Amino acid sequence: MAGEVAALAGVDRLAALVRSAGSVVALTGAGISVPSGIPDFRSLGSGLWENVDPMEVAHIDAWRADPERFWHFYGDRFQTLHDKRPNGAHHALVELERRGRLDAVITQNIDMLHRKAGTGTLVEVHGTIEFSCCLDCGARYPLGEVQQRLDASPVSVPGCDCGRPLKPDVVLFGEWLPAGALERAHALAAGADVLLCIGSSLEVHPVAQLPAVTRQAGGAVAIVTQGATPYDSRAAVKLTGDVEAELQALVAALDGERRA
């Protein structure tokens, strides 16, 4: 019972922060997609990098040197992501946006789930699996066509019409984040009264700097994640329960206030 009371108090504090804020921006990481059946990167026994060195398969140099090995690792995973569906946490953020309580979502995820859920203002700082592109001629292809080209390829590498291998529109190790997306994320964080960090370890830079940007501009940081983060001691609220339950409880708390 004490734990339930403490959790409720945390949700109430978060609701009060959101209610009083002129601008709320969400920053989401892999943890928000775990309830949709997508493992995060570090969880023991299920993390994406559990048995793989990411520098060997997810580095831009690895893609250039051996696109067949790269696509052998990523092909099935991209198809799996294509079939995943948003969960209650994604839908809760859409509801907050619909009510005018959330200005934007900045996501580190490439899984398209925020877009599928209906998020209107979305900044995908690490790119998206929605498209793949040719770095030679600039052509872009949607995920479904990329999968068809992958399946039809004798070397298991989806190719461009120009003959060069395709690269997914995601930021690989060794690549810079898209400048426009990062600038927009920085501006949103600087203008936020509350930066709501959800399912992120807040350890992957440069996105991990956004909470500091918000705090330096006078805003507050709220965290909803089950793991520890470098900002826990500086957060106005830290919730550690199930991400779907926590965000749905936030919506319910705001709904109760509105009805009252």
**133-192: per-residue pLDDT in tens?**
999 999 999 998 998 999 999 999 999 999 999 999 999 988 999 899 999 999 999 999
Dihedral sign for Cα 238, 242, 246, 247, please. positive
Dihedral sign for Cα 30, 36, 42, 47, please. negative
pLDDT band with cut points at 50, 70 and 90 for residue 259: very low
Quote the pLDDT of residue 50: 53
Quote the pLDDT of residue 237: 95
Q: Which whole number is the average pLDDT over 184-207?
A: 96
Residues 111, 119 contacting (CB under 8 angstroms): no
Structure tokens at 96: 């907050």
Q: Could you tell me the domains of the chain? A: 1-38+86-126+177-260 (3.40.50.1220), 43-83+127-170 (3.30.1600.10)
DSSP letter (8 states) at residue 169? E
Quote the pLDDT of residue 229: 95
Quote the pLDDT of residue 257: 56
C-alpha to C-alpha distance for 118 and 90, rounded to whole angstroms: 9
Quote the pLDDT of residue 46: 43
Which residue type occupies 69? R
Quote the pLDDT of residue 135: 95
For the stretch 234-243, contacts whose Cβ atoms lie closer than 8 Å and that sit 24 or more positions apart, written own/partner, are: 235/197, 236/13, 236/17, 236/194, 237/10, 237/13, 237/14, 237/17, 238/10, 239/7, 239/10, 239/11, 239/14, 241/7, 242/35, 243/31, 243/32, 243/34, 243/35, 243/89, 243/198, 243/199
Structure tokens at 132: 């793949």
Quote the pLDDT of residue 75: 77
Quote the pLDDT of residue 81: 78
**Residue 146 dihedral angles phi and psi, to the nearest 5°:** -60, -40
Question: Could you read off the pLDDT of 40-73 as tens digits, one per residue?
Answer: 655 444 445 455 565 667 789 989 999 998 898 8
Whether 82 is catalytic is no
- pTM of the predicted protein model: 0.89
Residue 9 CB neighbour total at 10 angstroms: 11
Question: Could you read off the pLDDT of 2-41 as tens digits, one per residue?
Answer: 344 345 578 999 999 999 999 999 999 999 999 999 876 5
Q: Which of 90, 126, 186, 205 is catalytic?
A: 126
Question: Could you read off the pLDDT of 83-99 as tens digits, one per residue?
Answer: 899 999 999 999 999 99
pLDDT band with cut points at 50, 70 and 90 for residue 228: very high
Residue 20 CB neighbour total at 10 angstroms: 11
User: Which residue has better confidence, 250 or 57?
Assistant: 250
Quote the pLDDT of residue 115: 95
**Helix segments in the chain, DSSP class H:** 2-20, 54-57, 60-65, 67-82, 88-98, 113-117, 143-152, 179-191, 210-216, 243-259
Structure tokens at 237: 């609220």
